[in-house]
Amino acid sequence: MIRFKSIAAAVALSLSSLAAFAQGETANWYFGKNAGIAFKGDSAIALTNGRLITEEGSATISDKDGNLLFYTNGITVWNRNHRVMPNGNGLMGRNSSTQSALIIPKPGNDSIYYIFTTDIQAQSNGMRYNIVNMTKDGGNGDLTSKNNFMIAPATEKLTAVRHSNNRDWWVIGHRWNSNAYMAYLVNAEGVATEPVISRVGTIHGGNNRKAIGYLVPSPDGTRLAAALWDDKSNFEVLRFNRSTGAVTDPVLLTGFVEAYGVCFSPDGTKLYGTVNAKGGGKAQVVQFDLKAGDAAAITKSAVVVGSSGSPRIGGLQLAPDGKIYIARKDNYHLAVIEKPNAAGKAAGFKDEGFRLAGKKSDLGLPNFPQGLGKQVKSMSKQ
């Protein structure tokens, strides 16, 4: 049973004009134990050709037409032919880091991609980035630069938001034993060496296992949500300024056990989180209504929309078909939220919602940046 104990900060959350989520760049997913999904229109088809094995984090990138380019677990990079890229081993992510990898295209260059990685549980490798040149190896790609240092120690949180100029990116992580969100500008000149630092909200520190948990943006990029994992853990919702990279106005939602995954609904009005009983047990998906009113009202709006037969559930990811998919550890099915814009039970949680054709999910799903492949024009005030 979930209990809500306190709110540490307050903020008024506004609604935004949201663009559609789906684009070809997110059409292919590889995750878990050789599991995968291909999305086309409203259909989702299980893939069984993936080489990737990971306990938690992974990332995949396709072209604008939905053709696979490459994928990674933060350690190894496989090309479109499911072969290891030249120089594609030895990246400094970990397959048991929540968001071990993230892929974004370089602004102004259709052939260059960055792979960002995070180490496990605030260890010394921290956040780093790698460069893939897709003109190499006959158009199949080659890593031309590896393991460039950004920050250490850092948590396992890693995401990106499209800049308000709709060209550049903000890559966002969190320093360990600190309340500092770190937003690195990525533009046509490369990855900034100095981040925008926002010291706000909860200190992410203590036992290193507290580095676990997702960090995700809302579909319009003006909100961030973090899961802070522990036996006494919580969710945090914050504002993000797409022009300046600043993180502000934290709302802390406490009283959960092993908070792990977070995801916004397509219209940005709902927040979903996954929680697990200590050591495994009752695994639940919680929905918050972000338009309920003030911070206290948002907390009170929390409702369990589904319970899983799996002892552990993990990452949530909004898919091109408008549904939210949920990782079930060591399982042949993903859970699915069919109508994530709907309130409460009307959201339509299905525990065995998508069959993986004999492959297995683990705790993670692919990590995608906000705004990939589309222009985002928010109407909410920064």
HEC letters along 310-334: CCCEEEEEECCCCCEEEEECCECEE
pLDDT tens per residue, range 344-356: 999 999 999 999 9
Domains identified in the chain, total number: 1
- pLDDT of amino acid 19: 37
Asked whether residue 327 is domain-assigned, the answer is: yes
Q: What is the mean pLDDT of residues 82-88?
A: 97
Q: Is residue 212 in a domain? A: yes
Q: What is the pLDDT of residue 231?
A: 61
126 within some domain:
yes
Q: Does a structural domain hold residue 15?
A: no
What range does the domain containing 227 cover?
24-355
N residues, the chain? 382
The C-alpha atoms of residue 94 and residue 156 are separated, in whole angstroms, by: 10
Q: Give the Cα separation of 226 and 382 in Å (integer).
A: 19
Contact in structure between 324 and 315 (CB atoms under 8 Å): no
Q: Is residue 377 part of a domain?
A: no
Taking the C-alpha atoms of residue 34 and residue 47, their distance in angstroms, rounded to an integer, is: 9
Tell me the per-residue pLDDT of 282-311, one tens digit each, with 9 for 90 and over: 899 999 999 988 778 888 899 999 999 998
* Residue 23 pLDDT class (50, 70, 90 cuts): confident
Task: Provide mean pLDDT across the span 239-257.
Answer: 92
Q: What pLDDT does 141 receive?
A: 98
pTM equals 0.91
pLDDT in tens, 201-243: 999 988 877 899 999 999 999 999 999 987 677 899 999 999 9
Asked if residue 378 belongs to a domain, the reply is no
Over residues 316-363, the pLDDT tens digits come to 999 999 999 999 999 999 999 999 999 999 999 999 999 999 999 999
The CATH number of residue 305's host domain is 2.120.10.30
What's the CA angle centered on 364, arms 109 and 275, to 5 degrees? 130
Q: Distance between CA atoms of 43 and 186, rounded to whole angstroms?
A: 33
